[in-house]
Structure 1
Amino acid sequence: MNKFLATAAILLLTAGTSLAGAFNFPSDDPVATVEIPDSWKPSETDYGYEATSPDGGTYISFDAAGAEDTEEVIKGVFTFLEENGVTADPASQTESKGDQNGMPYQTLSWKGTDKDGPVTIGVGIVGISEESLAIVTYWASTETEEKNNPDVNKMLESIKPAE
């Protein structure tokens, strides 16, 4: 009986947590890895992975780029946002730089709108190696952004070079 109660307690404690899978990207020649919660239903893209929060309010993607295709990948990010009706307010642009897991990063963020209302938009570039970058695209409803930020931050903190 005690074994049953202990097992039940563990299941209850972990029921609220969503498991995360580690994804190497791109899958054909991995340069980086990221952990994405299963509840975000990650799916493979041409250059990496994308996922959407369970409430549908936050989108994030992780794409790899090298010297030969960085421009193409970044153009693809802005084309994707435009095709999805995401419009940034250029006057709201902010920039940040730093170091994460020993890798340099730079982000550009904007306030904007999509078909459902106000959003936050972000594009980040993480220097995985001298030859490779991870491009992170972020688009979140301002209504659900705060709720989804803990998962987003865990994903961002999990980016590292592929082994």
Structure 2
Amino acid sequence: MNKFLAATTILLISATASLAGSFTFPADEPAATVEIPDDWQPTATDYGIEGNSPDAGTYISFDIAGAEDMEQVMTDVFAFLEENGVTPDPTSQTESKGEQNGMAYETLSWKGTDKDGPVTIGVGVVTLSAEKIAIVTYWASAETEEKNIPEVNKILASIKPAE
């Protein structure tokens, strides 16, 4: 996860070989945009958008919350991870803070496991405005994380408040 944290701090923007779609989310009250490659099969969720790497080894999602529903969205994120058999090791937790595209962010990350073995888990909060935040959920297998981190960096670098 240290690679993920460093990536969210530095965020490299480079050309991508796969086509990426720009998504404004959530659909009912747009708060942010993000670019996710088509081969990550991005789909809408209740609060945002999610995608999986073509090798199915890396998952990333973006959910929008306001002050009134932030706690519920965070509860839903951790319930989602639990439902998918993703278990963080609490002793491995790390935290970081920084700025991305002029927006403050904070991340928590862990090493852990899922049904297939070792994983890296990350939950980040990006401040879009005084009223809205984006919650980023990241989970990657130890086998595929290094391969997929360049694309993850591009996805993370693309998040912006909706216009």
TM-score norm. by structure 2 comes to: 0.90
**2:7 maps to what in 1?**
none
**1:46 maps to what in 2?**
46
**1:98 maps to what in 2?**
98
User: In the aligned structure 2, how far is the partner of 1:68 from the partner of 1:32?
Assistant: 18
Please give the secondary structure, in 2, of the residue aligned with 1:113. strand
User: In the aligned structure 1, how far is the partner of 2:74 from the partner of 2:64?
Assistant: 10
**Higher RCO structure (Cα 8 Å, ≥6 apart):** 2
**1:68 maps to what in 2?**
68
Q: CA deviation at 1:137?
A: 0.2
User: In the aligned structure 2, how far is the partner of 1:69 from the partner of 1:32?
Assistant: 16
Please give the secondary structure, in 2, of the residue aligned with 1:50. strand
User: In the aligned structure 1, how far is the partner of 2:26 from the partner of 2:66?
Assistant: 11
Q: 1:86-130 CA deviation, whole Å, 9 max, x = no partner? A: 000000000000001000000000000000000000000000000
Please give the secondary structure, in 1, of the residue aligned with 2:135. strand
User: In the aligned structure 2, how far is the partner of 1:156 from the partner of 1:63?
Assistant: 13
Aligned length: 149
Please give the secondary structure, in 1, of the residue aligned with 2:30. coil
Instruction: Provide the identity percentage.
Output: 74
TM-score norm. by structure 1 comes to: 0.90
User: In the aligned structure 2, how far is the partner of 1:147 from the partner of 1:37?
Assistant: 15
User: In the aligned structure 1, how far is the partner of 2:144 from the partner of 2:100?
Assistant: 25
User: In the aligned structure 2, how far is the partner of 1:80 from the partner of 1:133?
Assistant: 19
Segments of structure 2 that go 5 or more residues without pairing to the other structure are: 1-14
Q: Which segments of structure 1 move beyond 4 Å, counting only runs of 4 or more?
A: none
Please give the secondary structure, in 2, of the residue aligned with 1:98. strand
User: In the aligned structure 1, how far is the partner of 2:19 from the partner of 2:119?
Assistant: 27
User: In the aligned structure 2, how far is the partner of 1:27 from the partner of 1:158?
Assistant: 18
Q: CA deviation at 1:145?
A: 0.2
Q: CA deviation at 1:72?
A: 0.5
Segments of structure 1 that go 5 or more residues without pairing to the other structure are: 1-13
Q: State the Cα RMSD in Å.
A: 1.1
User: In the aligned structure 2, how far is the partner of 1:137 from the partner of 1:25?
Assistant: 15
Q: CA deviation at 1:17?
A: 1.1
User: In the aligned structure 2, how far is the partner of 1:96 from the partner of 1:25?
Assistant: 25
Is the radius of gyration larger for structure 1 or structure 2?
1
